[in-house]
Amino acid sequence: DGGITQSPKYLFRKEGQNVTLSCEQNLNHDAMYWYRQDPGQGLRLIYYSQIVNDFQKGDIAEGYSVSREKKESFPLTVTSAQKNPTAFYLCASSIDRGGENIQYFGAGTRLSVL
C-alpha cells in the first residue's frame, strides 16, 4: 500500500544526545514536511523540502536538522541544541507545494527525554 511510514513510534532521548526520526514515503511526492505538536497546540512546521537536495526552515527549526538525499526519505535529527524536544512529531508529504495539493501524514513519533 502507498503511504508514509514513520519510525520509531516511540523514542527516548538522553541529555546531550542527538536522535534521528525516520520518514519514508512511496507516494512519489516531491514535497515533504516535518511538524511538531505540543499538548493543546496545533501543528508547527519544523522543516520542509520541495525537491531532493533542497529544504527550507519552517517556523521552529532551531535545534533540528534534516536531509533530503532521496525523494522518498526525509529524516529529522533532533540535536542536543533542542532544549525541549519532548513532543509528538508528524511527517507529511504532498505531490508538490501547490495550494490544492493536500498533505498525507504518517502515524507520528512520540519523543520523550529520559
Q: Quick check: 35 binds other proteins (CB under 8 A)? A: yes
Choose, by CB under 8 A, the member of 10, 16, 100, 114 that binds other proteins. Answer: 100
The secondary structure of residue 96, as a DSSP letter, is S
Choose, by CB under 8 A, the member of 10, 16, 40, 114 that binds other proteins. Answer: 40
Lookup: cell for 48: 520542509
Choose, by CB under 8 A, the member of 33, 34, 64, 89 that binds other proteins. Answer: 33
Question: If binding means CB under 8 A, how many residues of this protein chain bind other proteins?
Answer: 25
| Closest distance to other proteins from the beta carbon of 59 (Å) | 5
Q: Quick check: 2 binds other proteins (CB under 8 A)? A: no
- Strand arrangement, sheet containing 64-66: 4-7, 19-25, 76-78, 64-66
Q: Quick check: 34 binds other proteins (CB under 8 A)? A: no
Beta strand pairing call for 104-105 and 43-51: unpaired
Comparison of 48 and 74: residue with beta carbon closer to other proteins: 48
Comparison of 19 and 46: residue with beta carbon closer to other proteins: 46
Q: Quick check: 48 binds other proteins (CB under 8 A)? A: yes
Instruction: Compute the distance between CA of residue 14 and CA of residue 20 in angstroms, rounded to an integer.
Output: 13
